[in-house]
């Protein structure tokens, strides 16, 4: 790696696209020598390195801190959802690309940072694509001093990024591509796997909400590397209207005519999918925000990482996966705080001790966010508690309702979704509920296994 060449290019270029080299080595070495050798009057500011995965953020921060014989959180820090380890000494901060977007909602100018590195940009995650668009706009307006480094593994994406950052630019010399391999940057049609950008294949509800929070009021004038489809935008808008996050004073339900509501502003303050945020908001009204916060915290972890065997029947609610999760958590915290007793309880009940401790930590972090948006923690201890909890969950997953149907061609009881277009689904094997005919259920997730679609996080509900 030619460190001096990178430093020299950054003295005159706003954006540097670096292709090839060892992915982990680049993310470790480049921030370090930039911190030691970058001179442009910004030595009091921090260098950011954005990663698509939280596991990479923690791993890189730990590796670099170990090389420096320091603890994480001093010179080298990190930020992921629900957790941050930084200090006033931090000069290099690894961060998830999603959390960096949240930071830009609070500080759109990124005043605390001198250099932003977007790692694994070739993966074309929704967050990294949005970041590149935001940073391009920021450099072109109020932060011409901000340096951007884009790390990518292949030539085709490097050329695509270069075309984006030079599109409409008055000075194309502000962008440069540097190859760390012997491969020539000539053809956009490399023999590389073509990655379909996430913006073309995922739900855009959170994305649209974030754009609103970032005061991007006209989608047509907001340039992105790949624009989302009109259909995907409209689907996201319809969901946000249904959740009460946005409103319009006209008959036209367009992006430009819609505005954030008080509910939408609360959603922005919570690091959750808008559906879960809506459930929390509703749960406060119904007096069961304590229980809902626990359930949502439990849902943040993979079920296979939490349960290491068959759960005892005493903890299972065969009417609701959500209430089963609540039972597990409440039973755990009711034990003596002595770690040995809690560990023994986990062993006896086939619960992963480290996973439930992580859930406890997640709940505490979420509680801090609830305090910031003025949502009170209320516990419901009355005969209607279970119905109130299900009602809260239904306020977010109102589109996820299905009715069991008899099928002579299949041994398993199947379900048919209520919302058009209807589709046939099956109960996932990790559900705790007992199936029956003429049964209505709400569900949180679906997953495809072979040619069947299975519903997860299921609760039986009363259709009346």
Cβ burial, residue 411 (10 Å; 0-12/13-18/19+): exposed
Q: Both tokens of residue 457?
A: 């996080």
Q: Which residue has the higher pLDDT, 376 or 187?
A: 376
Whose tokens are 């279970």? That residue is 386
Beta strands in 30-110 (DSSP E): 46-51, 76-80, 83-85, 92-96
Domain of residue 373, CATH code = 1.20.120
Evaluate the omega torsion of the peptide bond into residue 188 and state whether it is cis, within 30 degrees of 0. Answer: no
Give the model's pLDDT for residue 39. Answer: 46
| Chain centroid, CA 426 distance in Å | 27
448, 352: one domain: no
Question: What pTM value is reported for the model?
Answer: 0.92
Q: What percent of the chain clears pLDDT 90, i.e. is strictly above it? A: 83
Which of the pair, 322 or 464, is modelled with greater confidence?
Answer: 322
- Tokens describing residue 11: 């003295």
Residues 218, 108 share a domain? no
Q: 450 and 329, same structural domain?
A: no
Judge if 257 and 279 occupy the same domain: no
Say what the pLDDT of residue 249 is: 82
Give me the domain span that covers residue 231. Answer: 200-268
What is 300-357 written as a DSSP string? Answer: TS-HHHHB-SPPPGGG--TTBHHHHHHHHHHHHHTS-S-HHHHHHHHHHTTB-HHHHH
How far apart are the C-alpha atoms of 232 and 305, rounded to whole Å? 32
> What would the two tokens of residue 33 be?
């020598």
Rounded CA-CA distance 57/80 in Å is 7
Annotate 191-220 with b (16+ C-beta within 10 A) or e (fewer). eeeeeebbbeeeebbbbbbbbbbbebeebe
Specify the length of the chain in residues.
464
pLDDT at 327 over 60: yes
CA atoms of 335 and 114, how far apart (whole Å): 48
Range with the poorest average pLDDT among 63-77, 115-129, 333-347: 333-347
Examine the domain organization and report whether 21 and 158 are in the same domain: yes
The string of pLDDT tens digits covering residues 257-296 is 999 999 999 999 999 999 999 999 999 999 999 999 999 9
CATH code of residue 7: 3.40.50.300
- Cα–Cα distance measured from residue 275 to residue 444, given in angstroms and rounded to the nearest whole number: 10
Give the rounded distance of the alpha carbon of 244 from its chain centre.
21
* 402/290 same-domain check: no
Percent of the chain with pLDDT over 70: 93
Name the domain boundary from 242, 268, 294: 268
Q: Cα 369 from chain centroid?
A: 16
Residue 53 has pLDDT above 80, yes or no: yes
Residue 154 near residue 148 (C-beta atoms within 8 A): no
96 and 48 belong to one structural domain:
yes
For 88-116, what is the mean pLDDT? 96
- Which pair of tokens denotes residue 115? 């250099």
Q: Compute the C-alpha angle 128/133/135, nearest 5°.
A: 90
Whether residue 232 is predicted with pLDDT greater than 60 in this model: the reply is yes
Say yes or no to pLDDT of 410 above 70.
no
pLDDT at residue 40 in the model:
44
Query: Domain check: are 48 and 79 in the same one?
Result: yes
Whether residues 134 and 41 fall in one domain: yes
Does residue 390 sit within a domain? no
pLDDT tens for each residue of 1-11: 688 899 999 99
- The pLDDT of residue 437: 83
Of 251, 268, 285, which one is at a domain's C-terminal end? 268
Q: Does 188 or 337 have the greater pLDDT score? A: 337
For the stretch 163-217, pLDDT in tens is 999 986 666 679 999 998 755 555 444 655 677 999 999 999 999 999 999 999 8
- Per-residue pLDDT, averaged over 50-68, amounts to 97
Answer whether residue 451 shows pLDDT above 80. yes
Average pLDDT, the chain: 92
What mean pLDDT is predicted for residues 309-317? 96
Pick left, alpha or beta for residue 321 (phi over 0 → left; psi -120 to 50 → alpha; otherwise beta). Answer: alpha
Residue by residue, DSSP assigns 390-439 as HHHHHHH-TT-EEEEE--TT-SS-EEEESSSSP-EEEE-TT--PPP-TT-
Contact assessment for residue 116 and residue 110, using Cβ atoms and an 8 Å cutoff = yes
Give the CATH number, domain containing residue 237: 1.10.10
In the listed set 253, 268, 283, which residue is the last one of a domain according to the structure? Answer: 268
Average pLDDT over residues 408-428: 86
Residue 374 region by backbone torsions, left for phi larger than 0, else alpha for psi between -120 and 50, else beta: left
The pLDDT of residue 252 is 82
The count of structural domains within the chain is 4
Judge whether residue 41 has pLDDT over 90.
no
Q: Is residue 185 part of a domain?
A: no
Q: How far apart are CA 146 and CA 44, in angstroms?
A: 14
Helix (H) or strand (E) holding 426: strand 424-427
Q: What pLDDT does 170 receive?
A: 63
Q: Are residues 79 and 93 in the same domain?
A: yes
Which residues have CB under 8 Å from 197's CB, separation 6+? 124, 126, 129, 225, 226
Report which secondary-structure segment, H or E, holds 108: none
How far is 340 from 234, CA to CA, in rounded Å? 52
For residues 374 and 342, what is the distance between their CA atoms, to the nearest angstrom?
A: 32
- Tokens 């299905």 correspond to what residue? 402
Cα gap 104→81, rounded to integer Å: 15
Predicted confidence at residue 345, as pLDDT, reads: 95
pLDDT at 464 over 80: no
Tell me if 354 sits within 8 A of 281, measured CB to CB.
no
Query: In this structure, are 263 and 343 located in the same domain?
Result: no
Within-domain flag for 342: yes
The answer to whether residues 137 and 71 belong to one domain is yes
């Amino acid at each position: 790696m030619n460190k001096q060449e990178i430093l020299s290019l950054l003295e005159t270029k706003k954006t540097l696209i670096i292709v090839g080299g060892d992915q982990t080595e680049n993310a470790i070495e480049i921030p370090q020598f930039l911190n030691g050798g970058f001179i442009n009057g910004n030595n009091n500011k921090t260098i950011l390195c954005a990663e698509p995965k939280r596991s990479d953020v923690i791993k890189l921060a730990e590796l670099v801190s170990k090389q420096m014989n320091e603890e994480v959180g001093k010179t080298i820090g990190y930020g992921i959802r629900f957790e941050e380890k930084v200090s006033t000494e931090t000069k290099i901060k690894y961060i998830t690309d999603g959390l960096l977007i949240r930071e830009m909602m609070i500080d759109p100018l990124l005043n605390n940072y001198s250099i932003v590195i977007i790692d694994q940009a070739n993966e074309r995650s929704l967050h990294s694509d949005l970041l590149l668009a935001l940073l391009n706009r920021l450099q072109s307006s109020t932060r011409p001093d901000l340096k951007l480094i884009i790390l990518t593994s292949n030539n085709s994406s490097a050329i695509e990024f270069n075309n984006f950052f030079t599109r409409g630019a008055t000075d194309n010399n502000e962008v440069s591509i540097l190859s760390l391999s012997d491969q020539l940057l000539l053809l956009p049609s490399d023999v590389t796997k073509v990655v379909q950008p996430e913006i073309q294949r995922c739900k855009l509800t959170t994305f649209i909400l974030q754009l609103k929070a970032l005061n991007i009021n006209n989608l047509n004038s907001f340039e992105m590397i790949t624009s989302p489809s009109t259909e995907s935008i409209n689907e996201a808008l319809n969901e946000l209207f249904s959740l009460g996050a946005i409103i319009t004073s006209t008959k036209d339900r367009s992006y430009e005519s819609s505005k954030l509501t008080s509910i939408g502003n609360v959603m922005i303050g919570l690091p959750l999918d808008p559906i879960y945020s809506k459930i929390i908001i509703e749960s406060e009204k119904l007096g069961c925000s304590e229980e809902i916060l626990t359930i949502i915290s439990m849902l943040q972890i993979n079920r296979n990482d939490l349960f290491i065997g068959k759960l005892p029947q005493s903890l299972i609610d065969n009417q609701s996966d959500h209430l089963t999760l609540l039972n597990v958590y409440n039973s755990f915290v009711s034990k003596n705080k002595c770690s040995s007793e809690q560990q023994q309880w986990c062993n006896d009940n086939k619960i992963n001790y480290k996973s439930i401790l992580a859930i406890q930590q997640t709940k505490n972090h979420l509680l801090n966010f609830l305090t910031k948006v003025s949502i009170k923690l209320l516990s419901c201890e009355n005969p209607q508690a279970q119905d109130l909890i299900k009602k809260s969950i239904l306020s977010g997953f109102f589109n996820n309702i299905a009715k069991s149907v008899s099928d002579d061609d299949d041994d398993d009881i199947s379900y048919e979704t209520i919302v058009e277009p209807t589709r046939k689904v099956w109960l996932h094997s990790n559900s705790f509920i007992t199936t029956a005919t003429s049964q209505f259920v709400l569900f949180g997730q679906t997953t495809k296994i072979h040619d069947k679609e299975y519903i997860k996080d299921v609760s039986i509900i009363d259709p009346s």
